[in-house]
Amino acid sequence: MSQAMNKKILVIAPHADDEVLGVGGTMARFAAEGAEVYVVIATQGYPPDYPEEISENVRQQGFAANRLLGVKETRFLTLPAANLDSVPYRDINHQLVEAIRNIQPEVLYIPFNGDLHVDHQRIFLSALVAARPNRINAPTTIYAYETLSETNWNAPYLTPNFVPNVFVDISGYLEMKIQAMELYASQLKPFPHERSKETLRALATLRGSTVGRFAAEAFVMVREII
């Protein structure tokens, strides 16, 4: 029986599409196995950097992609995309604290702290603040996921390296992950861009073959309370 059965799972994404890139197959599998899966997308694009019609299009694509994967609810917070370096930490912390308090997940997936994008780094730190184990109903398990074109573009050996120690077999859900990414049409890129269908499939194949599976998603265990 899957360890995700009947559990609440929350995926926190800095930007719309990060959740599918990093955890799409895992969300689909665990939702199919009986878990309640929630997604919180921390940022939205605002004018003048992002026209409202483009931002609304991305939001609708996110809702559609996550519905396909079996996500119970997708929430967008109000933080400004690509501008978290100008937002006080307490404001980011507050929004994530409220999200975790409202959902009360047992399992939490967050971006990796070694990602190149500052938004990813700040969401990682604030998510850990929001998930402090001394809080009531704090998550008992926390994983960091990898995001193509962010996790592997930082400076090797000078910044934290993504060395996974948890693998989720998504052999039966890889094509659903690809379909979900196709629904993020504005974010999908042609090969050889890393955010392409071909690269998503290649990474899943590599991670799977590492542990003797056809396809997998890989994570770094941050904390587990048993």
Residue 39 domain flag: yes
Give residue 2's pLDDT.
57
Residue 148 domain flag: yes
196-211 pLDDT, tens digit per residue, is 999 999 999 999 999 9
Task: Report d(CA 47, CA 29) in Å as an integer.
Answer: 36
Which amino acid, residue 85? Answer: D
Task: Report d(CA 203, CA 80) in Å as an integer.
Answer: 29
Residue 3 domain flag: no
Which amino acid, residue 26? Answer: T
* 192 preceded by a cis bond (ω within 30 of 0): yes
**Sequence-ordered alpha helix ranges (H) in 75-140:** 89-103, 118-130
Residue 184 domain flag: yes
Give residue 69's pLDDT.
98
Give residue 5's pLDDT.
67
Give residue 1's pLDDT.
40
Residue 1 domain flag: no
CATH number at residue 207: 3.40.50.10320
Q: Domain limits at 211? A: 8-224
Show Cβ contacts of residue 193 under 8 Å, excluding neighbours closer than 6 positions. Answer: 149, 199
Residue 2 domain flag: no
For residues 207 and 215, the answer to whether their CB atoms sit within 8 Å is: yes
Point out the residues of the chain with pLDDT beneath 50.
1
Give residue 4's pLDDT.
67
Show Cβ contacts of residue 53 under 8 Å, excluding neighbours closer than 6 positions. Answer: none
- The structural domain count of the chain equals 1
